[in-house]
Chains A and B, each alone.
Chain A
């Protein structure tokens, strides 16, 4: 929990700043609608965290979200009865894409940056090849309920968050962090590195499927629904103090990072920063947060850094 503290403080400050400008934000309805808006990114961040803490990247989640929404719209096509079978199919699709990412990265030893970049091209190409260039069809009311109704979105978010925390406290979580910290040491102490990494990618695919289901209801069907989400999810995870390269950071901090990013967007809107400069502020904050984290480390535990196993070997 101590590692998550800085980002929680930043989040609290941002939430307080929003509340000062917009008192409605403190009321349950106002706050819950903020949580609902943040839910897809928080879920994606939880999935991305699992991959990043194991020392990898998943760049395919943005296009996977788009694929989920476009596939759902085409298959359901306004038919209420099709909702549940399609939902099940979407979950399976997310799992399979994650499984392929994981298998190619570990078994074929392709760097995950390239695997998931290739997957991104394949997914966005394939889905529009299938629909003929533009999204077609419509979602059913029952499908849109998950993203639209605050209760459902918050419930799903809570379930995902609890599951992620439980998972990271279980054996799996410890081995995952061990793999990200030092793959060889983990392998020598009996961790099945390949299997752990494949599971992490599969869960990241699952998180993209869930986020896609929420976003489909919330934002509707478009070809741009998932655009740039992979970078936002990575930004959120890194804002939470999780180190790229693996082995450090907690899933709570990663999810808090996603809330922080969403709160930042809300605040910038409220203070009337032009939509365009939003990106500039986001970039500066991203770099500043990571730089601050990196600079503080050497002073805090200098001997640890010096005696780093990598430096000796």
Chain B
């Protein structure tokens, strides 16, 4: 059962019942309201600076959230991404050590470390039957311990050529946003156009039914967690290039673990798995970033931002819950 079939059965309400359109409508609404508020405040909202700023701010979270989408779609979740981002930023910067010639090696090392962490996560969840929450919480504790044992502060150095990734832009589009778009496109292609994607939907919908219909569910979960960790690794590379060094706190300071889950759910993907998609997540991340940018322009207290953010996330999910509830009743 693909989401397309589901949407087809309620075409008349498709636009409103589909959380992806809801989140993009909400995004448009927030941009409009933000533009009006900032204009009343005597400022300019849709300037080049804001547009670039929103993209810059959301790129790292966006990349992590794309990976998190895969994990959540498969009925799992990954709490270890924040510490993995810190770890990979350090692996990248320390391996590069300021030398251009080490960039390829460093990227390879980061991918290797991330894939390994994802593999461990996936194997524990599928083979040892540890709940994803506990398995990835345990792994994040393990990485946290290693990090704080080895590093007191920023370490390593990123050569200037690699910093182009974090700061350059082509017209109004930063390179980091292009990287995010590429990652999102790959994930979208995997989910919607490959056998693997259909298996993810099936496993997330009901793991037992998927297994009985001949899907190797363990393999799907392991692959998904490797992909999710690779996304975190890419985000680690991006942050290392921004900072010019690796930092043991960069992942947790950004709150990438819970924030990425919030963005995915804001984008309409069901936390229980099996429903949703990458497009919604992109919308969710942009929505959070635009909100942030509006608040920054209005110079709103940062604690007030947290309050609004918490309310927005809960309200959005409550709205989706109503929509799917109505659609479900209509179908029966």
Contact = CB atoms under 8 A, between A and B. Distances in A.
A191 interface: no
Contact of B258 (A111, A117, A119): A117
A120 B309 CA distance: 11
Interface in B129-173: 129-131, 133-135, 137-142, 144-149
B83 to A, nearest CB: 10
A295 B127 CA distance: 9
A120 B129 CA distance: 29
A114 B138 contact: no
Contacts of A108: 314, 318, 321-322
Contact of B310 (A119, A234, A282, A286): A119
Contacts of B306: 121-122, 124-125
Nearest to B320: A110
Contacts, number: 143
Nearest to B80: A283
Given A125-B310, A291-B130, A280 B142 contact: yes
B1 interface: no
A129 B310 contact: no
Interface string B292-322: 0000000001011111111101100110011
B130 to A, nearest CB: 5
Contact of B271 (A111, A231, A295): A111
B307 A125 contact: yes
B230 interface: no
B138 A295 contact: no
A277 B50 CA distance: 42
B247 to A, nearest CB: 16
Interface string B31-55: 0000000000000000000000000
**Residue of A59, A120, A122 with most partner-chain B CB within 10 A:** A122
24 contacts: A57-B133, A108-B322, A110-B318, A111-B317, A114-B317, A122-B311, A125-B306, A125-B309, A125-B310, A128-B303, A231-B137, A238-B131, A276-B148, A276-B149, A279-B142, A280-B149, A282-B141, A283-B141, A287-B128, A287-B130, A290-B131, A291-B129, A294-B128, A295-B128
